[in-house]
Chain A
Amino acid sequence: MEDKQIIAKRIALELQDGDLVNLGIGIPTLVPDYLEEGKQILFQSENGVIGMGPLTDEETWLVNAGGNKATILPGGSYIDSLLSFSLIRGGHIDVTVLGALEVDSEGSLASWIVPGKKVPGMGGAMDLVVGAKKVIIAMIHTNKGKPKILKKCVLPLTASHQANLIVTEMAVMKVEADGLHLVEVHPEYTVEDVIKATEAELILDNVVPMKGM
């Protein structure tokens, strides 16, 4: 399994029956492929859909937040951007899964700007991480060997103290008040491998093999 698939498969286990979930672009969009059969998850897309279904090649004016043509499931609804972000900020979204350039031991994250290099903009990410009940960061553990899980983010923040769980191809880490807890390690790696690839200090209490692998 490729790294991205590992991350998506592990995150799928975090989604609970009945959750209203918003997925960011990139790795998070792979999560639905790994949902247990029978688990009913409702996907919200910030451009204005509740009950987003799979992508399609058919002629349609329904797109997801990445602009790709998609479908809507029975019982779904179209909403405007105001209602969409009222749901997001108002705590009506159970889980949001999104990528990040950096995340730190306080749960602060950076994902929208590399000053002087790349400025895509924050889109809906700032509202999502502030408003969703649970924020899961889906990302490759390092940037070609350079740590992305830091003591303190260097890039401009998307939000401060908002990430709850970090899932990479190497490990699962939980953000708690006392710091970053290493809770699961992928069988292909050792705890030492993870520590070496992580700048932030990791609290080890009860590390188990990554679930679902």
Chain B
Amino acid sequence: MKGTITKQKFQELLKDGMTIMVGGFLANGSPERLIDLVVESEVRNLIVICNDGGFEDRGVGKLIVNRQVRKLIASHIGTNPTVGTLMQDGEMEVELVPQGSLAEKIRAGGAGLGGVLTPTGIETIVEKGKKIIKVQGVKYLLEEPLYADLALIGGAIVDKYGNLRYHQTMRNFNPIMAMASDVVVVEPFRREAVIDPEYVVTPHPLVDYVLEDE
């Protein structure tokens, strides 16, 4: 870990056109303060990778409503009507990825793999443009890796070293995304002095910055 980060320093990391992964599942475990700071920064043309489109007033939905997202890569967009509208008007590109494939694509990015082979999506429109590879007689889709410039992590219990564990279901995509980005910024849900090494989920070398408390 490089250390704690102020709101201003965090906003200095933001750039137009960058790819940002945001943890959370229907905003449960999404880092709302970090997202608000991205909204405030007015950076544009972002590619956002998140499980879903959040809600208009929660999670990555706020970035979408503020027209900062050029492309959203997600598994589900039904809870944020603005996503559908922008997609239909051609103002935002949406790439829908099956949830399990999305998790594996991010893992591949963070684990140095060239992708994963999954049976999910075979004989559906998800196949389009993807390689089909037969292994031991079974057809699989090649899902290529995803990697980001920045990951915004929420739902985390953070210790003084920057080790993370997660609170309840806020874990979801957070530990996977913390592996797959150049810069990883964590918004603490709670702090504790030292996490027992047996229970660390995201070890501190993966974490770059922890957002200062308000």
Interface residues of A (CB under 8 A from B): 45-49, 60-63, 65-67, 78-82, 84-85, 88-89, 108, 118-127, 130-131, 156-160
Give the docked Cα–Cα distance between A89 and B117 (Å). 12
CB distance from A39 to the nearest CB of B (A): 25
CB distance from B129 to the nearest CB of A (A): 15
- Is B169 at the interface (CB under 8 A from chain A)? yes
Q: What residue of chain A has the Cβ atom nearest to residue B77's Cβ?
A: A121
Asked if B168 contacts A67 (CB within 8 A), the reply is no
Complex partner residue of A122 from B76, B118, B173, CB under 8 angstroms: B76
Q: Which residues of B have CB within 8 Å of A120?
A: 76-78
Most B Cβ at <10 Å: residue of A65, A66, A78, A84 = A78
Q: Which residues of A have CB within 8 Å of B14?
A: none
Query: Can you name 20 extra interface pairs (CB under 8 A) apart from A78-B169, A80-B173?
Result: A47-B26, A47-B172, A61-B168, A78-B166, A80-B166, A80-B174, A80-B175, A81-B99, A81-B103, A81-B173, A84-B100, A85-B99, A89-B100, A120-B78, A124-B99, A127-B99, A156-B125, A157-B124, A159-B120, A160-B124
Give the docked Cα–Cα distance between A67 and B79 (Å). 10
User: What secondary structure prevails in chain A residues at the interface with B?
Assistant: loop
Q: Which residues of B have CB within 8 Å of A46?
A: 99
- Is B194 at the interface (CB under 8 A from chain A)? no
CB distance from B31 to the nearest CB of A (A): 13
Asked if B99 contacts A49 (CB within 8 A), the reply is no
For the complex of A and B, the 4 pairs showing the least CB-CB separation, nearest first, are A120-B78, A85-B100, A127-B100, A67-B26
- Is B3 at the interface (CB under 8 A from chain A)? no
CB distance from A148 to the nearest CB of B (A): 18
User: Interface digits, B116-130 against A, CB 8 Å rule (1 contact, 0 not)?
Assistant: 001111111110000
Asked if A82 contacts B25 (CB within 8 A), the reply is no
Interface residues of B (CB under 8 A from A): 25-29, 51-52, 74-79, 84, 87, 94, 96, 98-104, 107, 118-126, 155, 166-176, 189, 201
Asked if A123 contacts B79 (CB within 8 A), the reply is no
Asked if B124 contacts A126 (CB within 8 A), the reply is yes
A-B contact count (CB 8 A): 138
Given A121-B52, A121-B76, A121-B77, does the pair A126, B123 have CB atoms closer than 8 Å?
A: no
Asked if B169 contacts A127 (CB within 8 A), the reply is no
Complex partner residue of B98 from A61, A65, A127, CB under 8 angstroms: A127
Asked if B167 contacts A61 (CB within 8 A), the reply is yes
User: Mind listing 6 A-B residue pairs with CB under 8 Å?
Assistant: A81-B103, A81-B172, A123-B99, A126-B99, A131-B119, A160-B124
Q: Which residues of A have CB within 8 Å of B170?
A: 61
Asked if B176 contacts A82 (CB within 8 A), the reply is yes
Given A82-B104, A127-B120, does the pair A63, B99 have CB atoms closer than 8 Å?
A: no
Give the docked Cα–Cα distance between A62 and B172 (Å). 11
Give the docked Cα–Cα distance between A63 and B201 (Å). 20
Q: Which residues of A have CB within 8 Å of B77?
A: 119-121
Q: Which residues of B have CB within 8 Å of A119?
A: 77, 84, 87, 94, 96
Asked if A63 contacts B101 (CB within 8 A), the reply is no
Q: What residue of chain A has the Cβ atom nearest to residue B201's Cβ?
A: A80
Q: Which residues of B have CB within 8 Å of A67?
A: 25-28, 79
Q: What residue of chain A has the Cβ atom nearest to residue B55's Cβ?
A: A67
Most B Cβ at <10 Å: residue of A81, A130, A156, A157 = A81
Q: Which residues of A have CB within 8 Å of B118?
A: 89, 127
CB distance from A73 to the nearest CB of B (A): 14
Given A47-B25, A80-B176, does the pair A62, B76 have CB atoms closer than 8 Å?
A: no
